[in-house]
Amino acid sequence: MAAQSPAAPRLPVNFSTRVDEVSSRARLARFIRVVVVIAVAIIMLIPVTWMTLTAFKSRPDAVAVPPKIFFQPTLEGFVSLLTDRRQLTTEQIAEEQKRTDLTWIDQLALSRGQVITGPSDYPQRLLNSIIVAGVSTVFSVGLGLLSAYSFSRFSIAGAGDLLFFILSTRMLPPVVVTIPLFLMYRALGIYDTHFGLILLYTVFNLSFSVWLLKGFIDEIPREYEEAALVDGYTRLQAFRKIVLPQSLTGIAATTVFCLIFAWNEYAFALMLSADRARTAPPSIPSVLGTGGIESAAIAAGSLGFLIPVVIVTFALRKYLLRGVTFGAIRQ
């Protein structure tokens, strides 16, 4: 009796009946989509790929015309990037070659007629970049989250004007303010300090972070927190338990944007740092230094510079992707 009724469970269907998987036109459309995506991806990845290849080329290979796609990979570029070297005379080279205590790094330098005099600044610069970008991002997102929450939830006198004021800090082109900032920083004694750069990047990113996060928090219905308030939680506890988990998407997106800005910033870093706090962007071109353009070293430096941001973005991708669907599900 029950087996005959149309609602009764039937044998499981182990082939797809979805229109987009059986219709030939749908399959063709999907094929075209995949081809287009792959083509676009290749075009976008060419510069990165070329940079990666160059980082492993020897000096002649790097500047060869026509460009070489197949070559003997070498770590010369990385050695140039990470060491300071001195050019040797022919006699000195012959003398050095007799030594037996040379490491493969020394030999690599020697093959180009150079001797390593010490480590280069690059690791320190990269570390500076990580400190400055990392700390300033934490501060801009943290402070931005608190202000965005306040703007979103409390009735603040002149909230609109305040928000516009916050945005207006972005309206001046950075080049206009670098010289005054340089003078001020010198007078305050924060020129060429981590603190100086962190402060500047935090202030600069804060406007962006407040606006972006306010949009995300506005999307979270107040009832969620109010329910928590009624259920015996304080506002701070409600914020931590309810608002924070639900704004992870916004926090991730804002973090990535703030980090990329602070990480890539060139003009301010060039003007406001010299040595102790100098970040990677202004220092990579300075590898150009000794004896002609070291394309491989520059490529290696850029590659190292690229990796931290890629790691962070990749780590946060789960939240970034969820952001795309979040608005669609809520009713």
Segment interacting with other proteins, rule: CB under 8 A, options 34-42, 57-65, 142-150, 228-236:
228-236
* Cβ proximity to other proteins, 202 vs 249, nearer residue: 249
Size of the site for other proteins (CB under 8 A): 17
Segment interacting with other proteins, rule: CB under 8 A, options 46-54, 64-72, 194-202, 231-239:
231-239
3-state secondary structure of 166: helix
H/E stretch holding 161 reads helix 159-168
* Cβ proximity to other proteins, 227 vs 321, nearer residue: 227
How buried is 160 (Cβ within 10 angstroms: 0-12 exposed, 13-18 middle, 19+ buried)?
exposed
By C-alpha distance, which of 130, 142, 136, 141 is closest to 253?
Answer: 141
Q: Within 13 Å, how many C-alpha atoms sit on residue 69's CB side? A: 2
**Residue 94 CA to chain centroid, in angstroms?**
46
- 8 A C-beta contact, residue 75 and residue 56: yes
- Hey, what amino acid is at 184? M
Interface with other proteins includes 160 (CB under 8 A)? no
* Cβ proximity to other proteins, 91 vs 231, nearer residue: 231
H/E stretch holding 83 reads strand 83-87
Which two tokens mark 320?
């970034």
By C-alpha distance, which of 162, 155, 153 is closest to 220?
Answer: 153
Binding flags for other proteins, 245-284, as an x/- string (CB under 8 A): xx--------------------------------------
Binding flags for other proteins, 197-226, as an x/- string (CB under 8 A): ------------------------x-xx-x
Smallest gap from residue 236 Cβ to other proteins (A) = 11
* Cβ proximity to other proteins, 191 vs 216, nearer residue: 216
Quote the CA–CA distance of 204 and 309 in Å, as a whole number.
Answer: 19
- 8 A C-beta contact, residue 89 and residue 110: no
Which residue from 232, 292, 324, 328 is in contact with other proteins, where contact means CB under 8 A?
232
Smallest gap from residue 234 Cβ to other proteins (A) = 7
Which residue from 79, 210, 242, 280 is in contact with other proteins, where contact means CB under 8 A?
242
Smallest gap from residue 200 Cβ to other proteins (A) = 36
Smallest gap from residue 232 Cβ to other proteins (A) = 3
Segment interacting with other proteins, rule: CB under 8 A, options 28-36, 156-164, 239-247, 251-259:
239-247
- 8 A C-beta contact, residue 280 and residue 32: no
3-state secondary structure of 246: helix
Which residue from 87, 234, 286, 290 is in contact with other proteins, where contact means CB under 8 A?
234
3-state secondary structure of 118: strand
Q: Which residues bind other proteins (CB under 8 A)?
A: 221, 223-224, 226-234, 237, 242, 245-246, 329
